[in-house]
Chain A
């Protein structure tokens, strides 16, 4: 360090051209400087980290994991609630369905019984009317037979008269009745 006249800080480790003599790593002249500044840097970094940075980041990370845990628990709760709501909904749906089918069955039974009653009534009416009609037909038939009998008597009487005979009413009636029966 005697010759500080050159441009570079020539010393034991640097030649006059400013190039290193040997390995600069092994230059003992520079070691105290590196060691001093290393220790200063490490102390500064240690205090910055341990006093400010690390507690802060640790708190942020802890807070975040806490938030995440809470949110997951909340989500779990909501999921359970949703499952419950779904079950309730399903139950309500099933109840409503059962109710509806019950109402349908009741309505069907009521309609059926109404229908049966109406049908029975209608059948009754029909049979009554049929009987009435048959009676009317029978009456008509009877009256028709009587009319024929009268006409036949008259015709017979007229025929007998035309033939030149006389016929008493009693014989004619008997004859006509017998013919008609036959």
Chain B
């Protein structure tokens, strides 16, 4: 992108070009099965996950190696989160939540490498994640609790007059959940990356380039935090929604 800007000889910003989906091999239309840069970076995330969780724990050492202790740390962190938020009966959903967490975490962090592709900034990706959680949790709620799951929307503590109104608000907020769940992740990642690209565009101007480079550094530092925090937020919200499905009574 930087070469494009130079070639056109002026300040040309294409902060969103980094999100273009390209086929990996040759040019052509992007079919649903075409291996693209999305495939590449998701694949790299899978490689990192296998590297840390499978290769790292290969020794099964009682005194862990560094890689093994990273895996154990993440395992313990998510396991404790699932147990604390959803209770003992939520622990059997731990592998699903762990899958979501490590995918988002590694996609976010790999996206911070220069020239990389940030899969989690794509609305389609996060919408599948968010709506997937929403649909699974809703089905699970009805399967486990039957009609009692609707008690989630009926506040027994509230005065009788207010209950229908609260129920309407609760239903709306319940259906907004997947939207906010997915847009929060994609928005945060996309905004950070776009801002970095905008600063990078300004770096072409000699006069402001020190400020621009300082800005890139600062935003990058912020993005390192955001990458971890958004993965954490997505996961803990998933746990909270799962808790509602397991124990719908308030």
Residue positions of A touching B, CB distance < 8 A: 1, 4, 7-9, 11, 13-14, 17-20, 23-27, 29-42, 44-46, 48-50, 52-54, 56-61, 63-64, 67
CB <8 Å contact, B99 and A60: no
Residue positions of B touching A, CB distance < 8 A: 4, 14, 16-17, 19-23, 27-34, 36, 38-39, 42-43, 45-46, 49-50, 53-54, 57, 60-62, 64, 68, 71-72, 75-76, 94-96, 98-100, 102-103, 119, 121-125, 128-129, 186, 190
Given known A-B contacts A41-B46, A45-B49, A57 and B71 have beta carbons under 8 A apart = yes
Is chain A's binding surface mostly helix, strand, loop or mixed? helix
CB <8 Å contact, A37 and B36: yes
CB <8 Å contact, A25 and B72: no
CB <8 Å contact, A33 and B28: no
CB <8 Å contact, B29 and A9: yes
Which of A1, A14, A34, A49 is B99 in contact with, Cβ under 8 Å? A49
Which of B53, B72, B122, B125 is A61 in contact with, Cβ under 8 Å? B72
CB <8 Å contact, B19 and A24: yes
- Nearest 5 Cβ contacts at the A-B interface: A32-B32, A53-B53, A24-B19, A50-B95, A30-B21
Is chain B's binding surface mostly helix, strand, loop or mixed? helix
For B129, the chain A residues whose CB sits under 8 A away are 38
CB <8 Å contact, A57 and B29: no
CB <8 Å contact, B75 and A61: yes
For the complex, what is the distance from the CA of A9 to the CA of B103, rounded to whole Å?
A: 28
Give the most central of A13, A46, A60: most B CB within 10 Å: A60
CB <8 Å contact, A45 and B75: no
Q: Which residue of A lies closest to B99 (CB)?
A: A46
For B53, the chain A residues whose CB sits under 8 A away are 48-49, 52-54, 57
- Closest beta carbon of chain B to A58's beta carbon, Å: 7
